[in-house]
Chains A and B, each alone.
Chain A
Amino acid sequence: MKGMIRICNAALLCALLASSAVAQQSVQPTTDRITVPFSDPERPGTLKVNLLDGAVTIKGSNRRDVLFVANSQEARDVLRRRQQAEPPAGMRRLTQPGGFGVEERDNEMSVSSAFNREINLAVEVPTRTKLRVSTVNGGVTVDSVDSEIEINTVDGAITMTNVGGSVVAHAVDGNITATVARVAPQAPMAFTSLNGDIDVTLPAAVKANLRLRSDQGDVFTDFDVQVIASASANQTQRNGRGVRIDVNRSIYGTVNGGGPDFELRTFDGNIYVRKR
């Protein structure tokens, strides 16, 4: 209860900003900056982000709390729904705050945006923070985070650089590009998309069972993949209700002797599995 922080609107953020303005002279007028501590910084915390309109950039760094920098104007310029009105003579445009809320409870921090408000979020987290991010219109970028990373987007791309741990990512219409530098042992991963390309770079020594599938695209790799026959392809029809039709197009293969399952699947894109 002590560690619970509830900050409900940007107005409050602004008040906080004003109070710390003396200390933070570099604050730009169009951005909201706020740092929020985890209730137990000794344990890895969880960051949950749910955004409708706007992009999220998350960077791991050697810090104990979480820094949010929100830029609503930038997001509005990118995702403009309506024609921008010209300022009448002698008037200037004022920036409207994007509006977002942060809630911390039991080492779990949740961020969400106000309805119909575009907002670009840049977040800096402790390196071991677990991530659960989902956006609708807007991409997600993650850099240098070592933990469990779970990302879902509808119209945005997912880009990950220098990440470690395990990744479970899905983009309906965006590309997924990931460089996984360190792999958690025995942790399965999944990278899937409907219409996007999947481009994953893994450590050369990674031990994994790959399940690769592109319905309308191609699969490329420079790994030495030992292809194994799919477990289900050899099964005969059990029900005795007519002929079995095999529609399984997945490639099952092991690298470096095999390990946890890594699923890479796209319907209409290509798959690239690269050796780092």
Chain B
Amino acid sequence: MENDKLNRLLPDDVDPREADGLDATWRMLGAIDAPAPDSDRMRARLDTVLGAVEHAAPPASPRWFGRRDVDGGRYALQGLAAAAVLLVGIAIGRFVVPDTTRLPDSSSEIAAMRSEMRELREMVSLSLMQQQSASDRLKGVTWTGQLDRPSSEVISALVDALMHDPNVNVRLATIDALERFASRDDVRRAAIQAVDRQMSPLVQIALIDFLVKTNERQSAPTLRRLIEDPQVNDAVRSRAAWGLQQLG
């Protein structure tokens, strides 16, 4: 019945079978499952990013002069001012550097290129750490070791991988990579949290070693809990006992 109604509404030059095909496609599109977001992971990532933002300095005000919703006249004025500044700049440039054959300031250019390279390397590491393949993620984690002064985005990505990466070997590698940043409170806090949540005994042992190495005394209650938990792997419990003794 629905079909008849549809057929009547269709222009004559449209093949009803084509309309049926479209209808079927439409229904099949509706039947596709929307990919369920991995909300725990997303939440955790959001939290780490928010944490990083909170710790950072307050952002500079975006308003330079005047309100943002100024009228067109103001914009024209700004444009004129910008053009004037540009002209003055060019004039100064001409006066200050009269010799056109002189080489450009190479040291500042190299510095700029270096910082660009660093950003690029960071970007590559970060994107590798988001890949499906465990080998790619391992590569991303080890590449962070080559970054000179990685941003806190890199560190929070490493912490995120330590907490949530599905592969044991990737989590193990992040512990080695995070060792450079052991002086940061958030990294050591994450290590304490991770030792509690880990399902893999090998990672737990590596984390206990990390906490002992960084002399993290605040991990003592967590280590004590591990020792007393009969569910925890025996090797982990004896390592925790050793760790507790080392931390004294």
Interface residues of A (CB under 8 A from B): 1, 46, 130, 132, 148, 150, 152, 166, 168-170, 172, 184, 186-190, 192-195, 211, 215, 231-232, 237-239, 241-248, 260-261, 263, 265, 267-268
Contact = CB atoms under 8 A, between A and B. Distances in A.
A138 to B, nearest CB: 18
B138 interface: yes
Interface string B179-203: 1001100000000000000001110
B214 interface: yes
B133 to A, nearest CB: 5
Given A241-B215, A267-B205, A190 B172 contact: yes
Given A188-B138, A190-B173, A247-B209, A237 B32 contact: no
B144 to A, nearest CB: 12
A170 B133 CA distance: 15
Nearest to A149: B135
A148 B200 contact: no
Main secondary structure of the interface of A (DSSP, over half): loop
Given A195-B235, A242-B215, 5 more contacts: A148-B133, A152-B167, A187-B135, A187-B139, A188-B135
Given A192-B168, A239-B214, A265 B202 contact: yes
- Summarize B's interface: helix, strand, loop or mixed: helix
B173 A194 contact: no
A41 B167 CA distance: 27
Interface of B: 28, 32, 132-136, 138-139, 142, 145, 167-170, 172-173, 176, 179, 182-183, 200-202, 205, 209, 212-215, 217, 233, 235, 246
A71 B61 CA distance: 68
B142 A194 contact: no
Given A245-B215, A260-B139, A168 B172 contact: no
A187 to B, nearest CB: 5
A130 B134 CA distance: 11
Contact of B182 (A150, A238, A247): A238
Most buried by B among A190, A232, A237, A260: A190
Given A245-B215, A265-B172, A168 B135 contact: yes
Contacts of B202: 170, 172, 192-194, 265, 267
Given A152-B167, A192-B168, A245 B138 contact: no
Contact of A192 (B169, B176, B179, B214): B169
A259 to B, nearest CB: 11
26 contacts: A150-B167, A168-B134, A168-B170, A169-B169, A170-B167, A170-B168, A170-B169, A170-B202, A184-B135, A188-B135, A190-B173, A192-B168, A192-B202, A194-B235, A232-B179, A239-B182, A239-B214, A239-B215, A243-B215, A245-B212, A245-B215, A247-B209, A260-B139, A261-B142, A267-B201, A268-B235
Contacts of B200: 170, 172
B55 to A, nearest CB: 18
Contacts of A231: 145
Contacts of B179: 232
A245 B168 contact: no
A172 B170 CA distance: 15
B138 A168 contact: yes
A247 B182 CA distance: 15
Nearest to B183: A238
Among all A-B residue pairs, the 3 with the closest Cβ atoms: A190-B169, A166-B135, A168-B134
Contacts of B217: 241
A247 B214 contact: no
A150 B133 contact: yes
A150 B134 contact: yes
Nearest to A46: B132
A15 to B, nearest CB: 23
Contacts of A245: 212-213, 215, 246
B93 to A, nearest CB: 45
A137 to B, nearest CB: 16
Contacts of B182: 238-239
B32 A1 contact: yes
Contacts of A170: 167-169, 200, 202
A183 to B, nearest CB: 11
Contact of B142 (A46, A188, A238, A243): A188
B169 A263 contact: yes
